[in-house]
Amino acid sequence: MKFFIDTANLDQIREAQDLGVLDGVTTNPSLMAKEGITGHDNIMKHYVDICNIVDGDVSAEVIATDYDGMVREGEALADLHEQIVVKLPMIKDGIKACKYFSDKGVKTNVTLVFSAGQALLAAKAGATYVSPFIGRLDDISTDGLNLVSEIRHIYDNYGFETQILAASVRHTMHIIDCAKLGADVMTGPLSAIEGLLKHPLTDIGLAKFLEDFKKGN
C-alpha cells in the first residue's frame, strides 16, 4: 500500500519524507490556499518545490472545468516535472480529459469520486488513480469505506489497472481499514500517518528495557 501525504505544507511533506515511508503527495486548490499559495506562478513553483522534496507522484489539480481548459492546464502541469500527476474532477469533461491524457501516457488522478459508477467511468477512461473521498462520505452518514470495497470488487472483476487512492482520510483507522480492503494508496494528513506509530505498550516496554539496561550497567 502506498502512502501519500495530503497537504501542500512543505515542512509536513519533508517530515513525512524523512520518516522514509512516503510514496507521494496529493494537493488540491483548498490545500494550496490553506498554505497561502496564490497566483499562477507561485502555485506552479510550489508544485516543483514539492517534487524536489519527494521521490514519488505529486498530484496537481486543474482549475478549469471545460475540456479545452483542463487539457491546457494539465499539459502545463505535466510539463513542470516528471513526477506530476494531472488531477481532474469527476465531471463529464474531466473524464474526456482523463482519456486524452491517458492516451498520451500522462498520469492522471480523477478526484471527487463518491460512487462506484464514477470510479468505473474513471477506470474506463484510463485513470492512473481514482480518488474516493471516504471522510466526506462519512461526514454525511454514508460508509466511505464501503465505497472503497465496492471499487476494489469492480476493478478486480475486470483487471482494471487504475489504482484506488483512498482520499479524505482523516485518521489512523481509516488507513488500517483501507489497507484491509486492498486500497492501493491512501492519502492522509501527517497526523494520521504518525498516529500509526503510537501504542502505549511500546512506550511502556521501551521504558522498561532502558530501565533494566541501566540496572545492569
Contacts with ligand G3P by CB under 6 A lie at 6, 26, 28, 31, 133, 135-136, 167-168, 170, 187
* Amino acid identity for residue 190 in this structure: L
Which residue out of 34, 45, 87, 99 is catalytically annotated?
A: 87
**Dist. CA 189–CA 169, nearest whole Å:** 7
CB of 31 to ligand G3P, least distance (A): 6
Nearer to ligand G3P, 65 or 202 (CB): 65
In angstroms, what is the minimal distance from the CB of 63 to ligand G3P?
15
R_g (Cα) of the chain, nearest Å: 19
Give yes or no: 87 in active site: yes
Cell 516496554 -> residue = 205
- Based on CB atoms, which residue is closest to ligand G3P, 23 or 75? 23
Per the CB < 8 A criterion, the answer to whether 130 and 147 are in contact is no
Residue 104 phi, psi (nearest 5): -90, -5
Provide the minimum distance between the beta carbon of 166 and ligand G3P in the complex, in angstroms, as a whole number: 9
Considering the complex, state which of residue 102 and residue 187 has its C-beta at the smaller distance from ligand G3P: 187
Rounded to whole angstroms, the Cα distance separating 108 from 87 reads: 6
Residues recognised as catalytic: 87
